[in-house]
Amino acid sequence: MRKRLLNIKLVLLVLGFVAQPLFAQQKLAQTGFQFLSVSGDARAVAMAEAFTTIEGQSGSLFYNPALMARTEKMIDAQFNLTEWIADIKHNSGSFSYNIKDGSWGIVGLSFQSVDYGEIIGTRRVKVSVDERGYIETGNLSPAAYMFGLGYAYSLTDRFAVGAQIKTVRQDLGDSWIPSDPKETEPDSVVLEQTDNKISELAVDFGTIYRTGFKSLSFGMSVRNYSRELKYVREGFQLPLTFQVGISMDVFDFLNRENSDHALLVAVDAAHPRSYPEYINVGAEYKFLNSFALRMGYKSNQDEYGFSTGVGFEIMGAGIDFAYTPFFDDSPFDDVTRISMHFDF
């Protein structure tokens, strides 16, 4: 037992030292690959993504890989569909396999894909070539992808760790840029073609700790840790995020004779590289472990704050819906998400 406690302390100490310098030179609103910050899980989104300590499904790979260690079924799979802003299609999914009832841990796979639709390409030319100062070069089809491999393991019945390594790729098509960025005269600019495709490896990792006091749990995660990337001349980082959270079924305080009802409340504090810090608060009411009502709130947001959703589950299969209304002065339409999952 002492050896296990020592291992837990060492893991927490290492994570603390790792997370501290990650944001030492923070540049707000200067990250790329923002599709990695778009959540597809309808259950998580309905709870405002206060999901750092919500255990039990392969979709945990997108929030805190350590949570996957609490997956009870041998197989768990999930698929998410999101009609994102500006008609962008954002899809994601996950899969986990329980090795020898968890005694060897849980291994999982995840993916994300983004279809930005078609964009008309243009190239700057001399006005002697075209009076508009540009010509059309055909349609572009920007896209982005992520594929991840994760592993989670319970060090004790209360403490678990997990990590995911993933490859991320973004294809923005070809473009023509000035060979001399200091040249400003339109007729003197010399253009060169560049290929805007980047692939890179990134890492997520996290921990989850059950306190032993009723269902109270603490957790932390670091997502999208990677080296600096560059398009042509300008360098940028992935949307690195450090998040800590707490959750509990508040009905545990009631002297109930059965567990037909549950009210899970979760609170997360997030420190992203891209934006100022914010707080996520989410709640989920469940009846007979089959029907769920959810609501959440994200603080310090420019476009939206509240979210809501419902979920249905029977015989290991379930479907979840989430609705995120944008503020009245936002130029974007409201967003809906659908998630389907099964386990056995």
How many Å apart are CA 78 and CA 320, to the nearest integer? Answer: 11
How many Å apart are CA 304 and CA 227, to the nearest integer? Answer: 30
pLDDT band at 320 (very low <50, low <70, confident <90, very high): very high
Confidence (pTM): 0.85
How many Å apart are CA 21 and CA 107, to the nearest integer? Answer: 29
Q: What average pLDDT does the segment 68-82 reach?
A: 93
Task: Give, rounded to a whole angstrom, the gap between the first and last alpha carbons of the chain.
Answer: 32
Query: 26-66, pLDDT tens digit by residue?
Result: 555 578 899 999 999 999 999 999 999 998 789 999 999 99
User: In sequence order, what DSSP letters do the residues of 71-116 get, joined into one string?
Assistant: --SSEEEEEEEEE-GGG-EEEEEEEEEETTTTTT-EEEEEEEEEE-
Distances in Å between the Cα of 281 and the Cα atoms of 22, 58, 84, 294 are 25, 22, 22, 11
Q: Is the pLDDT of residue 24 over 60?
A: no
The hierarchical CATH code for the domain 2-343 is 2.40.160.60
Q: What are the beta bridge partners of residue 339?
A: 80, 320
3-state secondary structure of 14: helix
Query: 187-221, pLDDT tens digit by residue?
Result: 566 667 677 788 999 999 999 999 999 999 999 99
Token digits of residue 266: 């979760």
User: In b/e form, how buried is each residue of 221-240, taking b as 16+ CB within 10 angstroms?
Assistant: bbbbbbeebebeeeeebbbb
Angle CA 68–69–70, to nearest 5 = 90
Token digits of residue 47: 């709870």
Cβ contacts of 233 within 8 Å, gap of 6 or more? 181
**Sign (positive/negative) of CA torsion 270, 273, 274, 275?**
positive
Angle CA 18–300–90, to nearest 5 = 75
How many Å apart are CA 53 and CA 44, to the nearest integer? Answer: 11
Per-chain mean pLDDT for the chain: 86
pLDDT band at 176 (very low <50, low <70, confident <90, very high): low
